[in-house]
Structure 1
Amino acid sequence: MKMPDKVLTYRIYNNGKELIGTASVQMPSIEYLTETAKGAGIMGEVDSPAIGQVGSLTLALNFKTVEKGAINLLKPKAHALELRAAQQVFDSSIGSYKMQPVKIVTRAVPKKVDLGKLEVAAMTDSALELEVTYLKIYIDGERILEIDKFNYVFFINGTDYGEEIQKALGL
């Protein structure tokens, strides 16, 4: 049995090759759009999720200094960002640690930049927020999540919940 342990290290690339500076990453929160249902046949209220419809997906990159790669992400266009991580897992069947590759692919447009502060012998704490319109996650080369807001894809562990929506729209 593989027990997830920790992310050992990661890198952030723009367009699959341009290494973006040293940053910590706050991944998007995935929250369904909901509507409150109440009335006959329901005791109280139920917040009913709209399948495949999710709220704003914000990706935040926090930099130690003002960096050229970060400023480049301010261009008003979609950026193809790729995060590649080496994730450590403990394999109990052999009693040792293994590396597990994780790849996160996004398309995102800039929302906000905070250039941070300038202090002697201190980090700037610069921050960049991007709106994610496309998100795909692979673990060990297997696609486990894909959200494509413009193409009605909502894929989770082998099932595309957007497929019926695509059919209904004649896509």
Structure 2
Amino acid sequence: MSNNVVPEKLINFRAYNDGNDLLGVTDVQLPSLDAMTETVKGAGIAGEVDSPVLGHFGSMETVLNWRTISKPGMNLASQKGISLDLRGAQQFYDPEKSEYVVKAVKCVIRGVPKKTELGKLDVGTTTGSSNTIETNYIKVIIAGETVLEVDKYNYISNIGGTDYLADVREALGLN
């Protein structure tokens, strides 16, 4: 396989709770990584700069959308820690070989329930039910390689193989 493969789409995925309980038919909105910032201004700066706090992110939410009110959706409303395992197959195109290549993608999400939307009851339509999980841990693995890991409680912010909080852990005596 060449290095110039073109990522095209997610072929399909499955969602599991605690690694083995299949959740059912859902789509998932993964969290955004919004860096925490502080405005820096003063002598020596021509204006203001919103400076990101190294390795720190604001609230991260993962949303699971359901077609109907479901038992797995109700179970995810429990006031306890949740560990989701999202496993997918992504389609890439290799132009040198003129063929499609499938690569695995896995997202591990840990957090606590923040909101459960029961949705709307209406004849012949989906309910629009959803669960919002306050995400304190996310790990993304593509073709066996960890490309992202953010663990707020353990001071890990590994993006593209660089852990931006390694020096912070050492300074805090956590290593």
User: Quick check: TM above 0.5?
Assistant: yes
TM-score range, shorter chain: over 0.9
- Pick from 24, 37, 41 the counterpart of residue 38 of structure 1: 41
**Gap runs ≥5 in structure 2:** none
Matches within 5 A, 1:2-81: 2-81=5-84
1:92 Cα deviation from its structure 2 partner: 1.4
- Pick from 140, 156, 159 the counterpart of residue 137 of structure 1: 140
Helix, strand or coil at the partner of 2:44: coil
For residues 97-146 of structure 1, give each alpha carbon's deviation from its aligned partner in whole angstroms, at most 9, with x where no partner exists. 11110000011110001101111221111011000011000000100100
State whether residues 13 and 81 of structure 1, in contact with CA within 8 Å, keep that contact through their aligned partners in structure 2: yes
- Pick from 166, 169, 174 the counterpart of residue 166 of structure 1: 169
Partner residue in 1 for 2:131: 128
1:41 partner letter = G
Question: What is the root-mean-square deviation in Å for CA atoms of aligned residues?
Answer: 0.7
In structure 1, distance between residues paired with 2:44 and 2:99: 54
In structure 1, distance between residues paired with 2:23 and 2:111: 15
Matches within 5 A, 1:84-123: 84-123=87-126
- Pick from 150, 157, 160 the counterpart of residue 153 of structure 2: 150
**Gap runs ≥5 in structure 1:** none
In structure 2, distance between residues paired with 1:93 and 1:108: 42
In structure 1, distance between residues paired with 2:51 and 2:125: 47
Task: State, as a whole percentage, how many aligned pairs show the same letter.
Answer: 47
> What is the count of residue pairs matched by the alignment?
171
